[in-house]
Amino acid sequence: MTTILDVKDLCKTYVINKRQNNVLKNVNFHVDEGEMIAVMGPSGSGKSTLLYAVSGMDCITAGEVKFCGKDITCMNLNELANLRLNEMGFIFQQMYMLKNLSVLDNIILPACQSDKIRESRRETTERGCALMRKLGIIDIADNDINEVSGGQLQRACICRSMINKPKMIFADEPTGALNRSSSDEVMEELNNLNADGTTIMLVTHDVKVAAKCTRILYIVDGNIKGEYNLDKYNKSKLHDRERALNGWLMEMGW
């Protein structure tokens, strides 16, 4: 199986008032093509810092991060920006979108800034509409972002993350600001994307969300303390997955 993300001896240190804060300490893991990985751990354990570090959104202090065989720690700012734009998709807890654009225009904006896919504006718009139709939100295409629900907006963010056909999606608490019903809908769409072959790495504190992933990394004080493997997501076995994961998390000190 092809490895998309390979992380070796990753360290991230902040210096505050002349004191070192070692947020990540010699972190090692890899992500293979088609996986859906959850990163879990206590508040302040370094989950989001890890996500930002391995996706090139934040610089690291030491170590190596290879994305599709290329060491991103050796890239300059422009190279990193192009990599994130063209080969990565991002979904955040706070659903950042431009208020002066419609939902559809927000979705296709990254494609308009990229030269990865050579197509006309009409073709880009048609692809954006196709993604919205696939996620069941085509009826809000022309709406302003303050005219839709949180669940609809997060699904629009998923469409935006997919518009440049990324090799991998990074999601930081993608359901954290949603109620349970909207959370389930968003996770169903992420699971559908994963079933179609999209590789996903997400940070979550929600066991119900993590149980829908194929592997869980448990991080404490900047170190990966454990790893739990699950089979490919099967909705009919969700309760058993949650129960087994809960038991493992309790053993880890959750």
The pLDDT tens digits for 172-230 are: 998 887 888 888 888 998 999 999 999 999 999 999 999 999 999 999 999 999 999 99
Q: Is the pLDDT of residue 72 over 80?
A: yes
Q: Which residues contact 8 (CB under 8 A, 6 or more apart)?
A: 28, 63, 64, 65
Q: Is the pLDDT of residue 19 over 90?
A: no
The residue ranges of every structural domain in the chain are 3-252
Q: Rounded to whole angstroms, how far apart are CA atoms 246 and 250?
A: 6
148 DSSP 8-state letter:
S
The pLDDT tens digits for 87-100 are: 999 998 887 899 99
Q: Could you tell me if 39 and 54 are in contact, meaning their C-beta atoms sit under 8 angstroms apart?
A: no
Within 10 Å of residue 233's Cβ, how many Cβ atoms?
20
Q: How far does the chain reach from its first CA to its final CA, in angstroms?
A: 31
Q: Rounded to whole angstroms, how far apart are CA atoms 49 and 53?
A: 6
Within 10 Å of residue 169's Cβ, how many Cβ atoms?
23
Domain 3-252 has CATH 3.40.50.2300: no
Dihedral angle, C-alpha 155, 170, 196, 206, nearest 10 °: -70
Task: Please name the amino acid found at residue 223.
Answer: N
Q: Rounded to whole angstroms, how far apart are CA atoms 31 and 2?
A: 9
Instruction: Give the chain's mean pLDDT.
Output: 92
Confidence grade of residue 40 (pLDDT, cut at 50, 70, 90): very high
Q: Which residues contact 181 (CB under 8 A, 6 or more apart)?
A: 151
Q: Rounded to whole angstroms, how far apart are CA atoms 57 and 66?
A: 14
- Enter the pTM of the model: 0.92
